[in-house]
A = this chain, B = another copy of it.
Amino acid sequence: MKRIACLALFLASACASPGAPAIPPPPEGNTPSIADVIAASKPEEWRRLDPENTLYMDFPQGRVIIEMAPEFTPNHVANVRALSREGHFVNGAVTRVQDNFVSQWAQAADPPRPPKIGKETLKAEFWIPRSTQVEFTTLPDPDTYAPEVGFSKGFPVASDGTRMWIAHCYGVVGVGRDVSVDSGGGTELYAVIGQSPRNLDRQLSVLGRVVQGMEILSALPRGTGDIGFYKTPEEYQRYADIKVAADVPEAERTNLEVMRTDSASFATMVNGRRWRRDDFYTDPIGRIGLCNVMVPSRPVSG
């Protein structure tokens, strides 16, 4: 009896994101593909990356592009910009790749050169008040870790009703720290490369997310030292620099636009994935997880 009552509750989604709308019904017939939704979207449903908030991390394998989230971690974003501008990230290295967890990078030099203009450490920015007037388009689907989840300008976000924070989904970039909560600053960063480690939520400052190039960070050889650190500097995976896009000559920029997560096309795409039904998917599940939503991006045309 309890099982049936709770199943009904689950299906009615009564406990999903509070205040969020109920889960929309499935579209008629087959669901649209992501390509279909993109093709039908309007130009105003896309947002061009701001070069001041965009980082390029250039590996021999290609470019990793990170969008920073100044609404969530303003001081860390400003500090990483300052660190980049003083050349702190030149000739850096991925020093740790722990399978199903994170790739982490820092200066290759040991000890690292201390920053001159940027700061080594900052006060933690783990969350912002829920009342903050930032975009927050909630998902009605239930989440294991938080009563309210959704998107804010492309970032996956969770809230407990009082606070809100960027959730540790695949591709999210955070600020490494030591034991003290105020010991990070941006000289060491990491990207999530496996199952979303949501227990990191609210324990670390989140700088942004990788918009392009995750396949570079996720396919690096796993470190064989403790918690995935490479045992020797010879194993380090080098990158040339981390540059603010605004500081790169226009001809060398990668201009991307991201589908607005408060747009009708994004909602259509999410609902199509939630109820995915096509020649292959025959038993739609009617739910989608926060970290299972991929936010479309593409080169700016023209």
- A15 part of interface (Cβ distance < 8 Å): yes
Residues of B contacting A170 in the complex (Cβ-Cβ under 8 angstroms): 100, 194-195
| Neighbour of A287 across the interface among B19, B144, B214, CB < 8 A | B144
Q: Which of A102-150 contact B (CB under 8 A)?
A: 126, 141-145, 147-148
A214-B15 in contact (CB<8A):
no
Copies in the complex: 2
**Alpha-carbon gap, A181 to B279, bound state (A):** 10
**Alpha-carbon gap, A2 to B218, bound state (A):** 40
Q: Which residue of B lies closest to A201 (CB)?
A: B285
Residues of B contacting A147 in the complex (Cβ-Cβ under 8 angstroms): 3, 6-7, 10-11
- A263 part of interface (Cβ distance < 8 Å): no
- A14 part of interface (Cβ distance < 8 Å): yes
A195-B292 in contact (CB<8A):
yes
| Neighbour of A99 across the interface among B6, B199, B219, B288, CB < 8 A | B219
| Neighbour of A4 across the interface among B161, B215, B219, CB < 8 A | B161
A binding-site residues for B, Cβ under 8 Å: 2-7, 9-11, 14-15, 17-19, 97, 99-100, 126, 141-145, 147-148, 160-161, 169-171, 179, 181, 194-199, 201-203, 214-215, 218-222, 273, 276, 279-283, 285, 287-292
Known: A99-B214, A199-B292. 7 other contacts (CB 8 A): A4-B18, A10-B147, A144-B290, A170-B194, A195-B195, A199-B276, A203-B280
